[in-house]
Structure formats: C-alpha cells, structure tokens
Amino acid sequence: MSASKLCTEEEISNLVRAFYARVRQDEVLGPIFDAHIEDWDHHQHKLADFWSSILRCTGRFTGAPMPKHARLPGLNAELFRRWLALFRETTAAQPNKTMGEQARAAAERIAQSLWMGYQMSRNPAAVPTALADG
C-alpha cells in the first residue's frame, strides 16, 4: 500500500478532531492547551497538515514543533505519557486500523524526540532521560 493510500484527508481530520476533543476534556492537559491555543480551528488545521505530511506524504506541514514545545513552561515526562495515552485511545477508536497503528507508532517516536529536545533546550547540562514505556 503506498503512503498516499493509507488514509484519506477526512480520516485524518476525524483523528485530529477526536484527539483534541479528548485533550480538551482532560483535567490535566486541557488547561495547558487552553492556556496556549487561542484559535482551535487553526490549531486543528495545522495538526491535520502535520498528520497529512506524515501519513500521506503530502509535505503540507511547514511548522516547527521543537521550538514551539520548548517554550511551553512546565512540560514533563508524565505529561508526554498522558498525551500519548490519549492519542493511543484515539487511534484505537478509529475505523481505519492501519492508519491508527501508523499514527500511534509515529506519535511515540515524535513524543520521544520532543521530550529529549525539551530537556536539552531547558536544561542543557543534564543528561536527558527517555520516556518510559506505557
């Protein structure tokens, strides 16, 4: 299956909307996102571009996630694991299982890399730690 056949834009949009619906209801992550995101429609479109670039190789995303996350105060491994748990629940609930599985695997790799980058940018003298499984 070629990457562009993995899923449709509509499936990506549904994934993104379902994920942020969970995030916004989450008592820990919800307030963090609400404090930083003014325009949820814009954010969800940007994240649809992000996932479209990853899952459909469209190259549509032109953002810079590392510096955007590095400037968010107070992120920690537990928050990243919580984000991943919600993302896993969301992908598991999608009808397109192959897309769900690939999105989950990519999110886990990217979360690791954002967390490592976050630690190195905030505390360059310390040895960064990986996100534990689970």
Beta carbon nearer to ligand HEM, 50 or 96: 50
Annotate each residue in 108-127 with x if it binds ligand HEM (CB under 6 A) or - if it does not, as one string: --xx--x-------------
Query: How far is residue 52 from each of residues 45, 56, 58, 62, 101, measured CA to CA in Å?
Result: 10, 5, 6, 12, 15
Beta carbon nearer to ligand HEM, 50 or 56: 50
**For residue 69, which of 85, 54, 50 has the smallest C-alpha distance?**
50
- Amino acid in position 120: M
Site of interaction with ligand HEM (CB under 6 A): 29, 32-33, 36-37, 46-47, 50, 63-65, 68-69, 72, 75, 79-80, 83, 107, 110-111, 114
